Amino acid sequence: MARLKKDHFNDFGLGEKSPSSGYRAVNKDGSFNIVKTNIPFFERLNFFHALVTMKWTHFFGLILLGYFVVNFFFATIYYIIGVENLTGTRGMGPFEQFMEAFFFSAQTITTLGYGRVAPLGLPANIVAATESLLGLLSFALATGLLYGRFSKPSSRIRYSEKAVIAPYKNINGFMFRIANPQKNQLLEVETNVSVSMKRKGSDLRNFHVLELERKRVVFFPSMWTVVHPIDSKSPLLGIDLNDLNEKDAEFIVSLKAFDESSGQMVYSRSSYKPNEIEWGQKFVYVAYQENGKTFIDVSRINETEDAILN
């Protein structure tokens, strides 16, 4: 059994105990594989966070559903009051009259008003005034949420699907690739890598921060191969694939950068498990020169070739 170098460690807020084999604290997409349960409903309720972070299709679907429900509600009130209190209505049957009330509600809530239909009498005018106020507030809120979704800083850092143990100088190194597939410029990019491994004969875990060849780059227009040299100070010294599997290792990657477009910091996370690490492989060089420019083939971010380990 390989010997681990003793190191300072902590649990990084992920918890030291993981009784199940194959446990993963951070998913490949950067989300945490931790679910909090038995929280009272009103304590976990956060409408703003839910509306800003949900999928775009769900967001617009919810907006359209809310728009329909509100107009249906006010149309029902106008119908109960009586469509005779709305001038210019021409519907003959109940369905046509209700639809007249529905479309009048749609004009009122948007403060559009074509002028053909107008409320008569105090009850209808009170409902119309209330709906107009609600419409102004609702659309202001929807606009704010839409802006919040667009202005929210985000990064789509692309990680290589596999990490490798490859030769590095006269030793070996743990390596993976990252690239920014978008055109926004990221500056002051900083990467941190740690490894989580079970202690011998225990379900508790040790978390070791891995020293990197380079943990920070000023510019990030190209592809970056992040390297942890497996030297005498590395907790991976003398470790092989069987050891990583036995200790249920997990390599956790966190990245932060300044997004020049939004003027804000962006963050990204990912992880690698032992079955996602290739031994005796190295990444293929994917840059080439043409017409005075350097091209990076991002589609080849996962491409590797055989290499002889030191």
Residue extents of the structural domains in the chain: 41-151, 158-306
What is the predicted pLDDT for the residue at 250? 92
More confident residue, 201 or 12: 201
Please determine, for residue 1, whether its predicted confidence score (pLDDT) is greater than 50: no
Give the rounded distance of the alpha carbon of 144 from its chain centre: 20
What is the predicted pLDDT for the residue at 5? 45
Q: Of 94, 90, 93, whose CA–CA distance to 104 is shortest?
A: 90
What is the predicted pLDDT for the residue at 119? 86
What average pLDDT does the segment 28-49 reach? 78
Please determine, for residue 286, whether its predicted confidence score (pLDDT) is greater than 50: yes
Please determine, for residue 99, whether its predicted confidence score (pLDDT) is greater than 60: yes
What average pLDDT does the segment 192-209 reach? 87
| Choices 3.30.420.40, 1.20.1250.20, 1.10.287.70, 2.30.30.60: CATH for 41-151 | 1.10.287.70
Please determine, for residue 8, whether its predicted confidence score (pLDDT) is greater than 60: no
pLDDT grade for 31, boundaries at 50, 70 and 90 = confident
What is the predicted pLDDT for the residue at 6? 46
Topology annotation, domain 158-306: Immunoglobulin-like (2.60.40)
